[in-house]
Amino acid sequence: MLRNLDWSRYRAIADSLGEQHLRLAYDRGRLELMTLSLEHENWKGLLRRFVEVLTEELDMSCQSGGSTTFDREDVDRGIEPDECYYITNEPAVRGKNRIDLSVDPPPDLAFEIEVSRSAIDRLGIYAAIGVPEVWRFDGETLRVLRLSDDGAYAEVNRSAYFPQLTISALLHFLQRRGKVDETTLVRSFRHWVREQIARGWK
């Protein structure tokens, strides 16, 4: 954790890191840099592949943003999600190679894989830049949080983007990690999703 950094120094550090395997979170003078573990990357990759299955099988427009740095000088905050997606706002960013939050929308959905503890208020940063939904997963519990009108996140039972899907159903597949290989697991999830669509999912 680096403290007492103004915006220009934060941006200078972020730019100098380039494609280093670190995650940044900046909150009004405090900059946190976190390394990434294999466990963290495994969970992130699995959730990403599940979302890709859902958007493909449900024929939903989607653009992934990965761990893009999203920041806004006017709120003095910036963050790099574990993964993020444009779904509702996909047409607004289609074909863009850079996002400027002064004119472009933030991602609709972001993931936070919390297998190591952050010392910074990451949810507060997401709220400040206006990300509508955040999924938090700690290796055991999956929580879906929606941004309320009061500017705070509230836990909900289902994602606004995948209302057909219960959290318990998704967690069932996540908990099979390590019991079968990832290809088999994603294939079984896709098969299950297709079964649900055949039974009436829209």
Task: Give domain status of residue 142, yes or no.
Answer: yes
Backbone dihedral region of 18: left (phi > 0), alpha (psi from -120 to 50 degrees) or beta?
left
pLDDT band at 81 (very low <50, low <70, confident <90, very high): very high
Task: Give domain status of residue 60, yes or no.
Answer: yes
Residue 21: its pLDDT value, please? 67
Q: How many CB atoms lie within 10 A of CB 94?
A: 10
Residue 20: its pLDDT value, please? 64
End-to-end CA distance of the chain: 45
What CA–CA distance (Å, rounded) separates 86 from 92?
Answer: 9
Q: Residue 197 above 80 pLDDT?
A: yes
Task: Give domain status of residue 183, yes or no.
Answer: yes
Q: How many CB atoms lie within 10 A of CB 200?
A: 7
Q: pTM for the whole thing?
A: 0.88
Task: Give domain status of residue 13, yes or no.
Answer: no
Give every CB contact of residue 113 below 8 A, 6+ residues apart in sequence: 40, 43, 44, 47, 82, 137, 138
Residue 50: its pLDDT value, please? 97
Residue 24: its pLDDT value, please? 82
- Could you tell me the residue range of the domain that residue 131 belongs to? 36-198
Task: Give domain status of residue 6, yes or no.
Answer: no
What CA–CA distance (Å, rounded) separates 180 from 176?
Answer: 7
Tally of domains in the chain: 1
Query: What is the mean pLDDT of the segment spanning 167-186?
Result: 95
More reliable by pLDDT, 187 or 13: 187
Q: At 118, which CATH number?
A: 3.90.1570
Task: Give domain status of residue 93, yes or no.
Answer: yes
Task: Give domain status of residue 107, yes or no.
Answer: yes
Task: Give domain status of residue 190, yes or no.
Answer: yes
Query: What is the mean pLDDT of the segment spanning 16-39?
Result: 80
Q: Residue 34 above 90 pLDDT?
A: no
